[in-house]
Amino acid sequence: MVEKRTPLAVADAVQKVMEHKLEGQQEFVSIFDSCDRFLSEDLKADHDVPRFDRSAYDGYAVKSEDLADCSKENPLRLKVIDEIGAGYVCNKSVGRFEAVRIMTGAMLPPDCDAVVMLEDVIEASTLDDKHITISKPVLKGENLSFKGEDVQAGAVLVKKGTKINPGIVALLATFGYEQVPVAKKPIIGVFATGSELLEVHEELEEGKIRNSNAYMVMAQIKQAGAEAVYFGKLADVLDESYQAMKKAMDTVDILLTTGGVSVGDYDLLPDIYRKLGAEVLFNKIAMRPGSVTTVAVLDGKLLFGLSGNPSACFVGFELYARPIIRTMLFSEKPHLTTASAILKEDFPTTNAFTRFIRSRAVLADGVLYTGPSGTDKSSIVSSIANANALTILPGGINGFKKGEQVQVILLDDSANTY
Amino acid sequence: MVEKRTPLAVADAVQKVMEHKLEGQQEFVSIFDSCDRFLSEDLKADHDVPRFDRSAYDGYAVKSEDLADCSKENPLRLKVIDEIGAGYVCNKSVGRFEAVRIMTGAMLPPDCDAVVMLEDVIEASTLDDKHITISKPVLKGENLSFKGEDVQAGAVLVKKGTKINPGIVALLATFGYEQVPVAKKPIIGVFATGSELLEVHEELEEGKIRNSNAYMVMAQIKQAGAEAVYFGKLADVLDESYQAMKKAMDTVDILLTTGGVSVGDYDLLPDIYRKLGAEVLFNKIAMRPGSVTTVAVLDGKLLFGLSGNPSACFVGFELYARPIIRTMLFSEKPHLTTASAILKEDFPTTNAFTRFIRSRAVLADGVLYTGPSGTDKSSIVSSIANANALTILPGGINGFKKGEQVQVILLDDSANTY
């Protein structure tokens, strides 16, 4: 007897999962290890950048009023009274018709209000006397970087939950974050199911295939920003599997399984969820691939029962597990980005369920196009490797034509492919 | 006296660097650690996937000819002679009007040519007799996954130099790559220069700023796929700096410095290059920011002299150092992707040099737009953190208008922002 399951709409399934989102935690890591982690606090400026008016070029700090009337015909001679490298400060007072040699980044002497670039002066020195000649005026403030022009003290520069990139690392360094507050990586346990599965190191046997889902999902977990723990394969025996999952639940935030969630005689997950006392949020979604994707809750932790079909497993993870992980990393936008794109091929067939086609999105002349990245069948592995997007084809519509505008979900690890 | 330098066009500078590209090396890593590494060999299928015709669903394996005439009015009764789970093989021969219970993924018995889905049969059993009743025909090949339909033996699935994503991990697992051949991460040494610089853990002092470039560049190195080694700050003393760099060169593939490459009195790098006997490929590029970016060659290794201005440093790395690293990772497309985009703002000013504006590119309704991510000044740090692209504004053109099409370079770490 086949159990009848009522399919849930994708958006409703996503919402149901997100109602059970988990709290993230904070830890501190060295700034050297902070790139690609997620900020657990807003990055706030505790001082202006620059902290002082400084020279933007190598040259001479001057009083602009001294230069007001100078010209080629009427060059001006200034006495050089000091020289300041970047990091040093001029302690002399600068009088009328005096100048200070200044390097890029050095603090402007308080008596000066502009810098003349090195290229625009003629230097002349005797043993105990240094002069420059200038033949064009300079505006007040010229060739300076002003206090606070980059960042003002108190400003929130980067929001909590943002993934740290090299530019953010530069800001962290600027504001003295030797230790950076980041989201702790959630621990995600992974079990594979299926007696047809061999591990990657095992020799092939007739009727068997190598387990690819668990390795794929662990890579997806890593890219989502969490840490994967592999528990190996569940035996096809209910009690043993139940014990293994029960034990694993104690050590992880989220437990993922691949396979075993369908309605077949060998699909143990429904029975294990029952035995664990987990509340099944749904076990049928109106989507292809991945309609059997199951999510359950137990003691405030989540169990994801992903399909054993590679493409279905992949899509199920990206739609339902990834946003939970990103929420634990404090992201305000935990879901993958959706964009409009033009279909590059016809999709003549109709399906009652929403389809997520493994796709290759390409920018051509500033416009985004999308087409399948390989054969569109849930059992296919090869189309995932080449995908950088999932094309969404809503269910119940009588086929889609090349040139139509559709929505695509942009996958995370594919920046360099557009 | 200011040294006169002749600016090189950006494309020529890139070409000059690439003429000195370095060879990559191979190492093996566990499949668990392979995601985000770069393949050092083509990934080739050593067997078909699937390796055998298998059932795509739970159901019954049958001979389609037996079902040819069955209908609701004329249901057909088949004897069930065996049951095979995924991973198991049917060793019985299947005669006319016999069927085999089969699970998703299990190998089709050689005597059968189709599968009837579980939903489409009525099961009836007595103690020693199992039957099913079917009331509609099935086509030969229906509900099967065919041998080789996913991947054919001998096919190159993923090219050498490709960054490994979760889908590729699935393929690696399928083909038994317990150890994965990947490009060894190049070792990139980093020195900061500038006596104005304080390290991230140091208290601020008057006239000084915290070193942000070195930390930023180390994050860029990491994201490019290499390993960064920080050697700290170079003293402002020629001989000491020369010794430190000479020693560092022995332990790295590439040596990066930030700052000190301009023509000022405190810019030591030109003298250090001379003393090292390095061949300077160029020391002036017709670009803003980063015109002082210098590249030199010594004993088959590369020295990158990046600007001390954060934005200039960032751009210099992405344009010149990144492609060298990616080449060492066997990439056939080592440069960042360029795309067309629509300007969201006017850029009224003209510059003789090509400008690379730190930008935010956004897809809206399938079209790519670009606008500055902050103040456009080479000394600015904050605009880098928010950038996911560099807008290219060619030099010598009389300003650019909102709505014009321009080229943008898409930065790598920003996939989720489009």
Token pair in block for residue B388: 């996911």
Closest CB from A207, A210, A363 relative to B368 = A363
pLDDT tens string A245-273: 999 999 999 999 999 988 776 789 999 99
How far is residue B162 CA from its own chain's centroid?
A: 7
Angstroms from B220 CA to nearest CA on chain A: 6
Percent helix / strand / coil, chain A, rounded to 5: 20, 35, 45
B207 vs A contacts (CB less than 8 Å): 52, 86-89, 106-107
Closest CB from A105, A157, A212 relative to B174 = A212
A266 vs B contacts (CB less than 8 Å): 85-86, 103
Q: How many CB atoms sit inside 10 A of residue B122's CB?
A: 12
Q: What are phi and psi of A411, to 5 degrees?
A: -80, 155
Does the pLDDT at position A234 exceed 60? yes
Residues paired with residue A126 on neighbouring β-strands, in sequence order: A129
pLDDT tens string A346-369: 999 889 999 999 999 999 999 999
CA distance B140 to A294: 32
Does the pLDDT at position A60 exceed 60? yes
Does the pLDDT at position A2 exceed 70? no
B120 vs A contacts (CB less than 8 Å): none
Q: How many CB atoms sit inside 10 A of residue A364's CB?
A: 12
pLDDT tens string A289-330: 999 999 999 999 999 999 999 999 999 999 999 999 999 999
Q: Do A209 and B365 touch (CB under 8 A)?
A: no
CA distance B35 to B306: 30
Could you tell me the end-to-end alpha-carbon distance of chain B, in angstroms, rounded to an integer?
48
Residues paired with residue A359 on neighbouring β-strands, in sequence order: A372, A389
Residues paired with residue A59 on neighbouring β-strands, in sequence order: A102, A117
DSSP B313: H
Token pair in block for residue A270: 């429904």
CA distances for A296 relative to A13, A17, B56, B413, angstroms: 12, 9, 26, 33
A213 vs B contacts (CB less than 8 Å): 170
Mean pLDDT in order along chain B per 10 residues (418 residues):
83 98 97 97 94 92 96 96 90 96 92 95 88 96 93 94 95 96 98 92 92 97 97 90 96 96 81 96 96 96 95 97 97 92 93 94 92 81 91 93 96 51
B214 vs A contacts (CB less than 8 Å): 173
Angstroms from B250 CA to nearest CA on chain A: 23
Angstroms from B177 CA to nearest CA on chain A: 7
Closest CB from B119, B158, B413 relative to A385 = B158
- Residue A128 is predicted with a pLDDT of 80
CA distance A318 to A336: 8
For chain A, list the domains and their CATH numbers.
10-24+185-328 (3.40.980.10), 28-43+156-183 (no CATH), 54-145 (2.170.190.11), 338-417 (2.40.340.10)
- Residue B2 is predicted with a pLDDT of 60
- Residue B313 is predicted with a pLDDT of 96
Angstroms from A180 CA to nearest CA on chain B: 11
- Greatest Cα pair distance, chain B, in angstroms, is 105
Residues paired with residue A79 on neighbouring β-strands, in sequence order: A98, A131
Token pair in block for residue B212: 């942000």
Helix (H) or strand (E) holding A220: helix A213-224
The three-class DSSP label of residue B273 is helix
Q: Are B313 and B193 in contact (CB under 8 A)?
A: no
Closest CB from A262, A365, A382 relative to B150 = A382
Q: What are phi and psi of A55, to 5 degrees?
A: -75, 135
The three-class DSSP label of residue A166 is helix
Query: pLDDT class for A18, splitting at 50, 70, 90?
Result: very high
A166 vs B contacts (CB less than 8 Å): 216-217, 219-220, 223, 314, 384, 413
Q: Are B185 and B171 in contact (CB under 8 A)?
A: no
> Stretch A28-42: mean pLDDT, rounded?
97
Does the pLDDT at position A417 exceed 50? no
B254, amino acid identity: I
- Residue A418 is predicted with a pLDDT of 40
